[in-house]
Amino acid sequence: ELSQSAAASEALTGAWQSGHADMINSICVLSDVATSSASGGGSGGGGRRYVTAGRDGYVKVWHPNLTLHKTIDVGQTTNWLSACCWMRKSRRLAVASSGFRIYFYDQSFSPYAHMDHKEGTPLCMGYTESHESKSSASEILMVGDDKGFVTVYPMDQDWGEPEQKTDGRLDNDGGFKVKKATRWQYHTDWVTKVGYVSQLQYM
């Protein structure tokens, strides 16, 4: 017996039927995503949501009782989605694809922008708000890849501005480029987890 509550059992059954068609590669918890459109439905848990990213190329957003809130078709059915990360300050969801690209969604889970990550396959992501008073960056996204490198993307207040194409025109497809990204090799194989430990002030 899964639960003494019939309603809870039905919710779990519904969640399983709404799940991914392939392996789930990443799960993140959004504790502060409450909006008028994201709440309701008797889900409980205030603004908390669970987000899963799978090898089937889909991101799924779940209510606290594991009923499905939204399915996001990233358009990467031929590529894995390797990681997802909630950026608290800008209130955006970052999703990494094995197709060498990172996608961003706003707090209503609508597409916002994307960023190419061509140096290696992005496998994991970490996030922290900027702790440097002299830096223009307001938040930092860390990306670990299959070559043992970690790339640090400092995000300033206007980090979603479009990237210029080779012909000088702006990329109206939602692409943008982060200024002054840095990349270091820490391992000789896959980086499977990256994060910032505030108590130690280290990545």
CA gap 138, 188 in Å, rounded? 31
For strands 24-30 and 49-54, give the pairing. Answer: antiparallel
- Pick from 73, 79, 77, 118: nearest CA to 97: 79
CA gap 148, 140 in Å, rounded? 19
146: left (phi over 0), alpha (psi -120 to 50) or beta: alpha
Provide the pLDDT for residue 53. Answer: 95
For strands 182-185 and 111-116, give the pairing. Answer: unpaired
Provide the pLDDT for residue 41. Answer: 44
The letter for the amino acid at 164 is Q
Q: Percent helix, strand and coil across the chain, each rounded to 5? A: 5, 40, 55
Provide the pLDDT for residue 39. Answer: 42
Provide the pLDDT for residue 155. Answer: 86
CB 83 within 8 A of CB 25: yes
Counting every residue written for the chain, the total comes to 203
Six token digits for residue 144: 């670990």
- Each of the 203 residues of the chain gets a pLDDT tens digit; together they read 444 566 655 655 555 667 888 899 999 999 877 554 444 444 455 688 999 999 999 999 999 988 899 999 998 678 899 999 999 988 999 999 999 999 999 999 999 999 999 999 999 999 999 866 556 668 999 999 999 999 999 888 766 566 555 554 445 566 777 767 899 999 999 999 999 998 888 88
2: number of Cβ within 10 Å: 8
Provide the pLDDT for residue 38. Answer: 40
